[in-house]
């Protein structure tokens, strides 16, 4: 649920296929809940010692049960990411990523549902245990323009311990107990936007912000296939806006100018349960 396909900077090296299902109850809403299917596929186009090109497909479907806002029961994101990784020298790598995304309830699809993102980053190998880098992403969302500065880090102080991610957007600390079992902690920040149907909602849009964190257990049950169980907490906000209330800039989720008041708003904090299946090299 990231606002730009920055995750592909890591996925193209390790986990080209991911399938996740998550469920969270809504705070103070009887029998209210959000269920999501999230599928990511990264496909290498060209791969050699100095250059890698990739594309892929990302699908996310949200099912909203007893949702108190008048936005329907389904929200979808369909993305096509692409990018490259270029080896500049023995220690430095350059990354470029882009993404075209359709965010919609799929009741009435139009070009207004499309958004795009661009990102660039550089990563340096400082030692055998540590790599660091800097990057900047830009995303043109339905609610305006979004900047995503981040610090890329990859630290492995011991063979069993691995700390990596893109601060502040996401991070993961993993302890490998053996070659099959791992435990860890991770967090993610995301901002998405969805266009509602013209007939029923006059092309209004939804801004969805979320922050989740928690513990996970990972089990390799066959070669590169892994089962992942995650339990944690999530804070999220759904806001419905008029189609004309779209301007301004934000850094990640922090507004840099006055924002329009939403027509409706829901904030909810609660538990998040997730089960996932992914393949890694």
pLDDT in tens, 63-78: 999 999 989 899 999 9
Measure the CA angle with vertex 65, ends 62 and 69; round to 5°.
90
Q: How far, CA to CA in Å, does 154 sit from each of 43, 132, 151, 208?
A: 23, 6, 10, 29
pLDDT in tens, 136-161: 999 988 888 889 999 999 999 999 99
Cβ burial, residue 159 (10 Å; 0-12/13-18/19+): exposed
DSSP assignment of 208-256, as one string? EEEEEEEEEEEEEEETTEEEEEEEEEEEEEEEEE-TT----EEETTEES
Which residue has better confidence, 57 or 12? 57
Query: Across residues 189-205, what is the average pLDDT?
Result: 88
pLDDT higher than 80, residue 185: yes
Q: Which pLDDT score is estimated for 191?
A: 87
> Token digits for 178?
């053996």
pLDDT for residue 5: 47
Average pLDDT of the chain is: 89
Q: Which of 263, 270, 212, 210 is nearest to 239 (CA)?
A: 263
pLDDT band with cut points at 50, 70 and 90 for residue 9:
very low
What pLDDT digit, counting tens, does each position of 211-259 carry?
999 999 999 998 889 999 999 999 999 999 998 777 788 888 788 877 7
**pLDDT category of residue 14 using cuts at 50, 70 and 90:** low
Nearest 10 degrees: Cα torsion 267, 270, 276, 278: 60
């Amino acid at each position: 649920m990231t606002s730009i396909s920055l995750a592909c900077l890591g996925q193209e090296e390790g986990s080209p296929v991911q399938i996740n299902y998550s469920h969270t109850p809504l705070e103070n809403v009887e029998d209210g809940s959000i269920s999501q299917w999230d599928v990511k596929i990264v496909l290498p186009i060209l791969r050699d010692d100095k250059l890698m090109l990739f594309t892929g497909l990302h699908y996310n479907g949200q099912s909203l049960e007893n949702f108190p806002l008048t936005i329907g029961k389904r929200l979808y994101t369909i993305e096509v990411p692409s990018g490259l990784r270029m080896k500049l020298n023995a220690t430095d790598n350059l990354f470029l990523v882009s993404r075209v995304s359709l965010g919609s309830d799929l009741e009435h699809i139009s070009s207004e549902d499309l958004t795009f993102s661009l990102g660039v980053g550089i990563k340096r190998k400082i030692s055998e245990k540590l790599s660091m880098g800097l990057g900047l992403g830009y995303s043109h969302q339905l609610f305006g323009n979004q900047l995503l500065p981040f610090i890329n880090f990859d630290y492995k102080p011991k063979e069993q311990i691995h700390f990596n991610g893109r601060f502040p957007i996401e991070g993961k600390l993993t302890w490998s107990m053996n070659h099959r079992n791992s435990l860890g902690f991770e967090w993610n920040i995301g901002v998405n936007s969805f266009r509602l149907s013209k007939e029923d909602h006059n092309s209004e849009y939804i801004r969805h912000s979320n922050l989740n964190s928690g513990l996970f257990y990972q089990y390799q049950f066959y070669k590169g296939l892994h089962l992942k169980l995650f339990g944690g907490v999530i804070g999220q906000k759904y806001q419905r806006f008029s189609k004309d209330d779209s301007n301004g800039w934000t850094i990640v989720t922090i507004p840099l100018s006055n924002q329009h008041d939403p027509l409706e708003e829901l904030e909810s904090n609660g538990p998040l349960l997730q089960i996932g299946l992914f393949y890694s090299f």
